[in-house]
Structure 1
Amino acid sequence: MIRIDCISLPDQPERRDYMRRQFEHYQLPYRFFDAIRIAPGSDWPALYDRKQRLAHSGIDLRPGEMGCYLSHRAVWAEFLAGSDTLCLVLEDDVGLSPDFAGVVEALCAAPADWDVVRLFAMFRRPAFPVRALTGSYVLVDYLVQPNGTQGYLINRDAAERLLCHTARMSMAIDTALDRDWEHGVPIRGIEPYVLTHDDTFGTTLGTAQKTSLSPLRKLVREVNRIGTGLRKQVWLFRKKKRLQARPRD
């Protein structure tokens, strides 16, 4: 069984109406998952690793980024507490293409081919075909992850592993998912996308507040970035060899 969760703040009726109309138009079962809001100026969430955040970024996460991070984790946790085998997670500012339901159905018909599948991404990345889905749609692998948590399918194993990986919060949730060299969860995508991102709603992430760093903190930040970059490049080298060697349908 599959569940469809749309993450949405309860006090955003325009966004909810926008998504509700689409779900009802395509006759899709759904539920709104109340997003977690972190009020500006409130205490840091217990999961927030501020020391690590400043070490690799030098700037605190925005309140909305923290809420988004915690909301996706809460969806995964609730999914794992139930009996559904797959979960479709959507944010509340996406447009569904007419082919959306058919592509999701094709993915669910062969779940052994994936752990997480992005249905939209913020950036275009070189894609390696895995197999045909339906019509012109193709399941793909990415060498470099294309960012974005606007919409994705996830299975129970991936949800459990990502929940563990994100137990400390020091980056935005889409960045945490992109770091496959750390969590090891295969994240695939589809080409072309079956979602669009509606920018007319604006952002609920808030404004970033730059933190003044001492020379020592700046040095630590740069050392962290170098170490992360080296680990990433080793991972990408090995992953590229695997992708290029794999037979294609």
Structure 2
Amino acid sequence: MKTFLINLDRSPERLQYMDELLKHRSLPYTRVSAVDGTAIDRPVYASVSLTMPEIGCFLSHRGIWELIVSEDIPVALILEDDIEISPDLSQLIENPNWLPGDNFIVKLDTTGTRIALKETGLKAPTQRSLLELKDRHCGTGGYLLSNAAAHRLVDLSKNPMVPVDLFLFDRKRGQTADIGTYQMLPAPIAHKIVIEDVTGTAFETTIPKKHLWKPTRRLSKSEKLTRELQRIVLQSSRALLVLLGLTSTRYIKAKFR
């Protein structure tokens, strides 16, 4: 299976890390130079509300989708350069017979949070499962993409309007509703920032400070209490729907292993 690694030219430390990691995991790869959002001509995207780094990230992924289409690649593994990878990932992609049909995205990474998933009965090697993604799960650290899905994504993404992870993995937006979108559990990939402290390392964000969102203001005690009550009500409502058999969606913490 073809593996693509997205890497900024100005991030050689990350490339060195990923080269060593992928060799250790027996995963040959092709490096793709990422689109540097800080060098993009802003007027071209004047109507887009995204930051320039977000546009650069989107275009980097879209460039690989176009490669999958132009080179007629059946299935590809797409990776970012700030991730940790399970030792058995190579076993998952050596024999792709477990993949779900021919029009799919399989999200391999996780933020470690609870996400809305639906049981499918689909199994993968190394004691993993595929569940249908029903809501939002951020991040594009690693995913499998079929040729048919790549064709569709290229058609849908001529004018990027949301960050690429929401475009791919926010199911309630409905932009990719006709593509089978799955989450692998346990997840064999996670961004390093999810599983360890990356302060002062090459794995801190590559986005210049001037492009970062300003931190939101701190909530007052009453606002925190209101938010907590809302969370309790929401979780209770979800549990009741499951108990009554009114939904097949489960909220599961996607762990990295």
Give me the whole-angstrom Cα distance separating, in 2, the residues matched to 1:17 and 1:71.
19
| AA partner of residue 118 (structure 2) | F
Give me the whole-angstrom Cα distance separating, in 1, the residues matched to 2:104 and 2:246.
17
Could you say which residue in structure 2 is the equivalent of 1:89?
78
| Contact 2:37/2:57 (8 A) holds in 1 | no
| AA partner of residue 169 (structure 1) | P
Deviation (angstroms), 1:126: 3.1
Q: Could you tell me the percent identity over the aligned residues?
A: 27
Please say if 1:195 is aligned against 2:184. no
SS of equivalent residue, structure 1 residue 183: coil
Could you say which residue in structure 2 is the equivalent of 1:120?
109
Bigger helix share: 1
Deviation (angstroms), 1:112: 3.8
Give me the whole-angstrom Cα distance separating, in 2, the residues matched to 1:139 and 1:105.
17
Of 129, 132, 135, 2:119 maps to: 129
Please say if 1:43 is aligned against 2:31. no
Q: 1:160 to 1:195 in 2, by over 3 A?
A: same
Q: How big is each residue's C-alpha offset from its partner over 1:188-224, in whole Å with a ceiling of 9 and x where there is no partner?
A: 01001101211221112342468xxxxxxxxxxxxxx
Q: What are the equivalent positions in structure 2 for 1:55-94 lying under 5 Å apart?
A: 60-94=49-83
User: How many residues are matched?
Assistant: 203
Please say if 1:147 is aligned against 2:138. yes
Deviation (angstroms), 1:22: 1.0
SS of equivalent residue, structure 2 residue 59: helix
Q: How big is each residue's C-alpha offset from its partner over 1:37-69, in whole Å with a ceiling of 9 and x where there is no partner?
A: 1226x52264x362xx4xxxxxx4222111100
| Contact 1:9/1:36 (8 A) holds in 2 | yes
Q: 1:104 to 1:242 in 2, by over 3 A?
A: farther
Compute the RMSD of aligned alpha carbons: 2.4
Could you say which residue in structure 2 is the equivalent of 1:183?
176
Please say if 1:109 is aligned against 2:71. no
Could you say which residue in structure 2 is the equivalent of 1:17?
16
Structure 1: gaps of 5 or more residues: 54-59, 211-240
Q: Which has the higher contact order (CA 8 A, sep 6+)?
A: 1
Give me the whole-angstrom Cα distance separating, in 1, the residues matched to 2:186 and 2:71.
31
| AA partner of residue 127 (structure 1) | L
Q: TM-score, normalised by structure 1?
A: 0.73
| Contact 1:95/1:195 (8 A) holds in 2 | yes
